[in-house]
Amino acid sequence: MKSKLSFLLIALVILSLVLAGCAPQATPTAPAEQPAQTEAPQVTEAAAETEAPQPTEAPMETEAPAEEPAAPSGEPIKIGFFSPTTGFAAADGTSALQSAQLAVKIINERGGVLGRPLELVYYDDAAKPDQASAIARKLIEQDKVVAAISGSYSGATRAAAPIFQEAGIPMLSAYAIHPEITKTGNMIFRIGTLATTQGRVGAELVGKVMNLKKVAILTIDNDFGISLTDGFKQHAAEIGLEIVLEEKYPLGETEFRPIIGKIKASGAEVVYATGYYNEAANLVSQARDEGLEIPIIGQEGYDSPKFIELAGPAAEGVIITTDLNRDSERPMTRLFLEQYEATYGEKADMVGASAFDAVMVLAYAINTAGSTDPQAIVKAISELKNFEDVASGPFWYYTPEREVVRPISSQIVRDGAFHLYHEFTDEALVKP
């Protein structure tokens, strides 16, 4: 019996050893554990290393020098500038010049253009076409500018544009808005909104935003006023506005009472009146004196602190279309408005913003081109997209006809200052 029991015990031991030897093959949990080890921290850590801080640190290194850019050095890059700092348009011309000088100061503080200082070569054209023509030749032949900016009115700008075009020198029209200026040729660009486009927006403001139908139109009898009115009338017909009265008046007009009497008799619900700040101040002052209380819609010619100063309380409620939105929170708009007031002790206006922007666009184009070659500058401006470094922007793009496309603002006078009334962003409406 003992031998049988011993045999059975030995057999059980052998069997248990056999079963134990088979155990690893039967381990079903091993594969489940392995993925857990595969997902292990190495993969996560590797990714973490890949995403490592280098990209974050890199911008910090590039941002550092931006705080203290190297001072520009070498021969200055000259750009020409002309505007009327004497004569009837002296306030606009002075604002344009001061704003252009402010832009040059900011650019040079940022390190200049191509590492060189930017220099503004300036002349007064008194808003006279013959003077603007002579200045254009002087800037090209004597001063050897690489590009030029007109800070003047449409008549003077139209006279200068062909001279720059023939010489192959790029010229930017800051706020002269007559259509013929950019039609001069491929070297001529515009910063301000084309007159007919701004007129179209004026009609949209009256008919679609204010829901008024009967319009009296007053037109200042020059390139500026006529082209604005053309754009207004074309769109007015498209959206069903009724023009119940249309009158023209000469530049420098001071007596509007006879026209105001006609407006009162016409049944008009609103007045669309083109003009500059002097004529506009007389118009609205006399209109309110005569008891004409319907809305008066102007355009960028009114866009000056001088208009509010001259018109006084009569300016309250006047609405204009313009390129400058004073309530914008865009950094470059705030910088321009604040630095202009701090530097010159007065508030900035639309013509100033446009002249400022013209310098910023030229500086961008020269830097982008990496050259002062005229054709390279033209190419860079033509290809500009979503440009934010301007006070009156953003500039979305330029059309092949060298007209800028961007939002257009309307502003209302409230408490003695311009404020946003409506912004037009429909590309079909604001595109020239």
DSSP state of 186: T
What letter does residue 26 receive in the DSSP assignment?
G
Q: Which amino acid is at 349?
A: D
257-266 helix and 277-289 helix, angle to the nearest 10 degrees: 60
Residues forming a β-bridge with 242:
214
- Interatomic CA distance for residues 94 and 399, integer angstroms: 30
| Cα–Cα distance, 338 to 346 (Å, whole number) | 10
Long-range contacts of 84-88 (CB under 8 A, 24+ apart): 84/124, 84/125, 84/126, 84/127, 84/128, 84/152, 84/153, 84/156, 85/124, 86/124, 86/126, 87/126, 87/127, 87/128, 88/127, 88/251, 88/252, 88/278
Global pTM? 0.81
- Output the tens digit of pLDDT for each of the chain's 432 residues: 444 444 444 444 444 433 333 333 333 333 333 333 333 333 333 333 333 333 333 333 344 455 677 889 899 999 999 999 999 889 899 999 999 999 999 999 999 999 999 999 999 999 999 999 999 999 999 999 999 999 999 899 999 999 999 999 999 999 998 899 999 999 999 999 999 999 999 999 999 999 999 999 999 998 889 999 999 999 999 999 999 999 999 999 999 999 999 999 999 999 999 999 999 999 999 999 999 999 999 999 999 989 999 999 999 999 999 999 999 999 999 999 999 999 999 999 999 999 999 999 999 999 999 999 999 999 999 999 999 999 998 999 999 999 999 999 999 999 999 999 999 999 999 999
Q: Are 403 and 182 in contact (CB under 8 A)?
A: yes
Count the Cβ atoms, other than its own, within 10 Å of residue 238: 12
Do residues 225 and 274 lie in contact, with contact meaning Cβ atoms separated by under 8 Å? yes
Tracing tokens 């850590």 back to the chain, one arrives at: 45
- CA dist., res. 84 & res. 127, Å (int): 5
Task: Please report the pLDDT score of residue 109 as a whole number.
Answer: 96
CA distance 263 to 200: 22
Q: In what order do the strands lie in the sheet with 404-405?
A: 385-387, 395-398, 404-405
Which residues are paired to 423 by β-bridges?
409
Instruction: Please check whether residue 365 is in contact with residue 380, taking contact to mean a CB–CB distance below 8 angstroms.
Output: yes
Question: Burial, 342: exposed, middle or buried (Cβ in 10 Å; 0-12, 13-18, 19+)?
Answer: exposed
Preceding peptide of 72 cis, ω within 30°? no
Q: Which residue has the tokens 């023939």?
A: 166
Residue pair 218/274 in contact (Cβ under 8 Å)? The answer is yes
Q: What is the pLDDT of residue 224?
A: 87
Count the Cβ atoms, other than its own, within 10 Å of residue 40. Answer: 10
Q: For residue 68, give the 3-state DSSP assignment.
A: coil
Helix axes 374-382, 350-369, angle to 10 degrees: 110
Question: Can you tell me whether residue 232 is helix, strand or coil?
Answer: helix
DSSP-assigned states of every residue in 121-157: EEEE-TT-HHHHHHHHHHHHHTS--SEEEE-S-HHHH
pLDDT value of residue 67: 63
Closest CA to 151 of 88, 97, 227, 223: 97
Token pair 């609205």: residue: 284
The distance of Cα 36 from the centroid of its chain, to the nearest Å, equals: 57
Cβ atoms of 49 and 116 within 8 Å: the answer is no
* CA dihedral for 256, 262, 264, 268, sign (positive or negative): negative
